[in-house]
A and B are shown apart, each in its own frame.
Chain A
Amino acid sequence: MNDNTKSKETTFTFDKIKQDVLRPMQNHKGLELWIVFLITVISVGAWAYYVQLRDGLAVTGMRDYVSWGLYIANFVFFVAVSLVGMLISSILGLLKVDWIAPISRIAEIIAVAFVAVAGLVIVLDMGRPDRVLNVLIHGRFQSPILWDVTVITTYLVISSLLLILPMIPDLAICKKEIKTAPPILKKLYAILSFGYTNTPEQHKHLHKMIRTLMVLIVPVGLAIHTVTSWLFAATLRNGWDTTIFGPYFVAGAFVAGSAALVIAMYFFRVNYKLKDYITELHFDKMGKLMVAVCLVYLYFNVNEFLVPGYKMKSGDSVHLKELFFGSWAIMFWASQLLGNILPIMLMVNKRFRMPKPMMIISIFVIASAWFKRYVIVIPTMLHPHLPIQNVPDHVKHYFPSSVEITVTVLSFALALLIITVLSKIFPVVPICEIADQKGIDYKIEE
C-alpha cells in the first residue's frame, strides 16, 4: 500500500516521463535468464510438436469422439484474451475515456501476442499443417472456418497497426534517446517513426488514421469472437447449439482479456517501476470495468445454462447433468465461482480494487477462463448424437496426452516471449500521449 503514496505530489516534466518510460527498456537485469527460460520451454514444446508431426495426431489424447481437444480449447482462450485490445484502446478510446492512456499500449501488446499465437495454435492442431493454405484455396464461404481464418488474420494486422501507429511519436523519441540500442533496433526505430517530428499537421494526420483503425477494429474484433463461437454454434451438438453463443463468447472474452491486462499492468508497474503512470486509479477503474464485464458474462451464463437446464431436452440433459453434477462438475463450478461470481463479489469492494488484490483476483479469473473454454469444448464432444457402436472405452474419455500438454505450454511461452520482446523494444507507456494529457509541451527533433 505504500508504493503509491507519493504519486500525487509527483510533478511531471517531459524529461521525467521520457526517462521513466525508457529506463526499463535499457535495463536488462534478469532478462537473459527469463528469455533463456522461455526459449527452453519453447524448445521442449517444439520437440513435442516434432513428435506429433512425425507420428501423427495419434500421439495426442484425441480420438474419434473428442477430435477437438485441448488445442481448440486453448485456441478459444487465446482468441478471448486478444479481444482486450479492442475493448480498451478502441471502445474506451473512442468513448474518450482518458484513464486508459497509460495502459492502452499494454492492452495492444497483449492483443497482438495472443492473436498471433491463437492463429498458430490452430496450425498446431492440424494433422497436415502443410495443407493450411487449402483453407483459402478450397475453403467454403458457408463454413465458419474460412471466416475465422480471415478474421483472425485481419485482427492481427489491425492490432499490429494499432500498436505501431500510436507509438510513432514515441519511436521518434526512442530513435534519438536510446543510444545503447543495437544498430538493428535503431534502424527499426528509424523506419517505424516515419520521420515524425510532431508538427501539428502530422499530429492531426496521425490521429485521424488511428481513429479510423479504432473504428475499423470494433466490427473485426466482434467478428473474431463471434465467428469463433460459430465454429461451435453452427453445429447441432448439445451445449453448442444455442443462439447466444456469439455474445456469450464476446462477453467471456472481455472478462479474460481484462484479467490478462490487470496481470500485465501489475507486472509492469512493479518491474518497470511505472507506479507514477499505472496508478491505483487504473486498478480501481479496471476493477470496476471487470465487475461490469463479469456481470454481463454472468448474465449470459445464466441464460446459457438456466434455460436449457429448465427444459432438459433429452440430449441436453445428459450434457448438463455431466456439467452440473457429473464428472465435469468441479471444473464447471470452480470456473463459474472463482472466475465470475466471487470476483464480482470481491471487486465491488474498493479494498479489493487495489493493485495486489486485483492481480490475485485476475489470476483466478484468467485461470477459470481457460478451464471454462475446456468445459465448453470437450464435454460436448463426448456426447455425440450418433454414438459409435462397440466403441473402445478409451474413445469415450478424453485426457490430453503429455505431447498435447507440452505443445500447449509452448503456446503460452511463445505468447510471453512475444510480450517480453515487444515490451523491451517498445515503450510500454505512451510518452507523448501522457505528455499531451498532462498539458506538457514537447518537441521531437529529428
Chain B
Amino acid sequence: MKNLSTILATLVLVFAFMNSASAEDWKVSATAKKKLNPYELSKKNISTGKKVYQTNCKSCHGDPTKANMLPLVPVPTDLGSQNFLVQSDGEIYHKVKVGKGAMPTFEKTLNDESKWMVIAYLRSFDKNKKKAVVTKAVVNPEVTDVKIELNVDTEHKKLNAHLTGLKKNGKRAGLEGVELSFLVKRAFGQLDVSGEEAYTDAKGELVVQFPTDLPGDREGQVDLTIKITDEDEYGLIEEKRVLSIAVPTNPKNPLDERAMWGTRANAPIWIIASYVLGVIGIWSVIFLVLFQVFQLSKMRTKS
C-alpha cells in the first residue's frame, strides 16, 4: 500500500512536471501577452463567442467547466477552468492563433473578431471577471411557459416570430433581446437563415427574411426550426414547422438514368450489349466445338 502511494505520488509529480514542461513550450512574447480583448463582455458577444466555440473548439475541449473533453494525449485543457483563465487575454489569443501540437492553428480559420468573441465567452466563466460582464439594459420579467409563435408572410417570405412567456400575474409578455435561431433542414445538417442581429424587439417580436432562392422539395416545402439560441436561460425552446415558402425543385436522382454508376438494371445499353453478345458469341463457338467433337466418332465408321 505504501509502495502504491509512493508510485502514485511519483506519477503525479512526473505528470505535473510534464504538464508544466509542456505549458512552458507555448512561447508567448510579452507584447502578445499585453493584448486586451477589444470587445466588451456583453451578453451578445458572449453568445456569439459560444456559437464559435461550439463549432470550432467543443469537439476536443468539450463544454467549459464540464470536463467532457476528448480523451486525447495530451488531454485537451478545460477552457472554463480557473487555472486556464488566469492567463491574460493576449495569451489565450496567441494560443488560439498559433496552436501547438494537436491544437490546430486558427489564424486563417477564424477571423480576429471571432477569436475575441471566443475569449469573451471563456471570460464569462472567469470568477474574477464575472462582475465585468455587461448586463443588459432590459431585464425581462420572470416568466414560465416560454414559447415561440410563428406567423408566416408567404408572399414576401417573411417569418415573424413572437417570443412570449407567462408572467406570474397570468398575462403573457414578450421577451426582449433574446437571440433566436432560424434553422432550415438541409441534406447534411441545418442552415442558419437568421441573419445578423436576430434579437427580439421590445414586444418579443423578430422578423426574419427567408432567403428567396433557397431550394425546397418538389412542393417548395422546407423543415424550419426556430429556437432560442442560448439554451441557458429558458432551456430548449423551439418551434418546428413545415413551410411551403422555398423554391420548388425537381431533384434528379442520378440513379434513375442509365449510367456507369447505376444499378444493374440501369446499366448503359452498350455495356449490357457488349457483355451479352460477347458471352453468347464466345460460348456458342465453344458449344459448337463441343458438338463437333462428338461427330468424330461418327467419322470412324466411314473409313
Residues of A within 8 A of B (CB): 138-142, 146-147, 150, 154, 157-158, 161, 165, 168, 194-197, 199, 201-202, 205-206, 209, 212-213, 216, 219-220, 446
A sample of 19 cross-chain residue pairs with beta-carbon separation below 8 angstroms, ordered by A number, consists of: A140-B262, A140-B267, A141-B264, A141-B275, A142-B260, A146-B275, A154-B283, A157-B286, A165-B289, A194-B293, A199-B299, A199-B303, A201-B299, A201-B303, A202-B296, A202-B299, A209-B292, A209-B293, A213-B289
B296–A195 CB distance below 8 A:
yes
B271–A202 CB distance below 8 A:
no
Which B253-303 residues sit within 8 Å CB-CB of chain A?
260-264, 267-268, 271-272, 275, 279, 282-283, 285-286, 288-290, 292-297, 299-300, 302-303
Minimum C-beta distance from A269 to chain B (A): 31
Partner among B267, B290, B293, B303 whose Cβ is within 8 Å of the Cβ of A141: B267
The chain B residue with its CB closest to the CB of A161 is B289
Given A150-B279, A213-B289, A220-B282, check contact A196 B263 (CB 8 Å).
Answer: no
Minimum C-beta distance from B264 to chain A (A): 5
Minimum C-beta distance from A391 to chain B (A): 15
A161–B264 CB distance below 8 A:
no
A446–B279 CB distance below 8 A:
no
Partner among A150, A158, A197 whose Cβ is within 8 Å of the Cβ of B300: A197
B300–A202 CB distance below 8 A:
yes
Residues of B within 8 A of A (CB): 260-264, 267-268, 271-272, 275, 279, 282-283, 285-286, 288-290, 292-297, 299-300, 302-303
Distance, CA A206 to CA B303, complexed state (A): 15
Q: Which residues of B contact A216 (CB under 8 A)?
A: 282, 285-286
A195–B286 CB distance below 8 A:
no
Q: Which residues of B contact A209 (CB under 8 A)?
A: 289, 292-293
The chain B residue with its CB closest to the CB of A219 is B282
Which 10 pairs, one residue from A and one from B, show the smallest C-beta to C-beta distance? A195-B297, A199-B303, A141-B267, A194-B296, A195-B300, A140-B264, A202-B299, A142-B260, A201-B299, A141-B271
Which one of B283, B285, B296 has the highest number of Cβ atoms from chain A below 10 Å of its Cβ? B296
Q: Is the interface of B mostly helix, strand, loop or mixed?
A: helix
Partner among B264, B271, B286, B296 whose Cβ is within 8 Å of the Cβ of A138: B264
A139–B293 CB distance below 8 A:
no
Minimum C-beta distance from A236 to chain B (A): 13
Distance, CA A212 to CA B272, complexed state (A): 26
Given A140-B267, A216-B282, check contact A199 B302 (CB 8 Å).
Answer: yes
Which one of A138, A194, A219 has the highest number of Cβ atoms from chain B below 10 Å of its Cβ? A194
Minimum C-beta distance from A24 to chain B (A): 27
B263–A140 CB distance below 8 A:
yes
The chain B residue with its CB closest to the CB of A202 is B299
Minimum C-beta distance from A421 to chain B (A): 22
Distance, CA A194 to CA B293, complexed state (A): 7
Minimum C-beta distance from A70 to chain B (A): 30
Partner among A142, A194, A206 whose Cβ is within 8 Å of the Cβ of B271: A142
B296–A212 CB distance below 8 A:
no
Distance, CA A194 to CA B291, complexed state (A): 12
Q: Which residues of A contact B286 (CB under 8 A)?
A: 154, 157-158, 161, 216
Minimum C-beta distance from A111 to chain B (A): 16
Distance, CA A201 to CA B261, complexed state (A): 53
The chain B residue with its CB closest to the CB of A158 is B286
Q: Which residues of B contact A446 (CB under 8 A)?
A: 300
Minimum C-beta distance from A139 to chain B (A): 7
A197–B303 CB distance below 8 A:
yes
- Could you list 6 further interchain pairs (A-B, Cβ under 8 angstroms) beyond the known A141-B272, A199-B303, A219-B282? A140-B262, A141-B267, A141-B271, A142-B271, A194-B294, A213-B289
Q: Which residues of A contact B283 (CB under 8 A)?
A: 154
Given A138-B264, A140-B263, A216-B286, check contact A205 B296 (CB 8 Å).
Answer: yes
Which one of B271, B299, B303 has the highest number of Cβ atoms from chain A below 10 Å of its Cβ? B299
Given A158-B286, A216-B286, check contact A142 B296 (CB 8 Å).
Answer: no
Q: Which residues of A contact B297 (CB under 8 A)?
A: 194-196
The chain B residue with its CB closest to the CB of A194 is B296
Distance, CA A199 to CA B297, complexed state (A): 11
Distance, CA A360 to CA B261, complexed state (A): 47
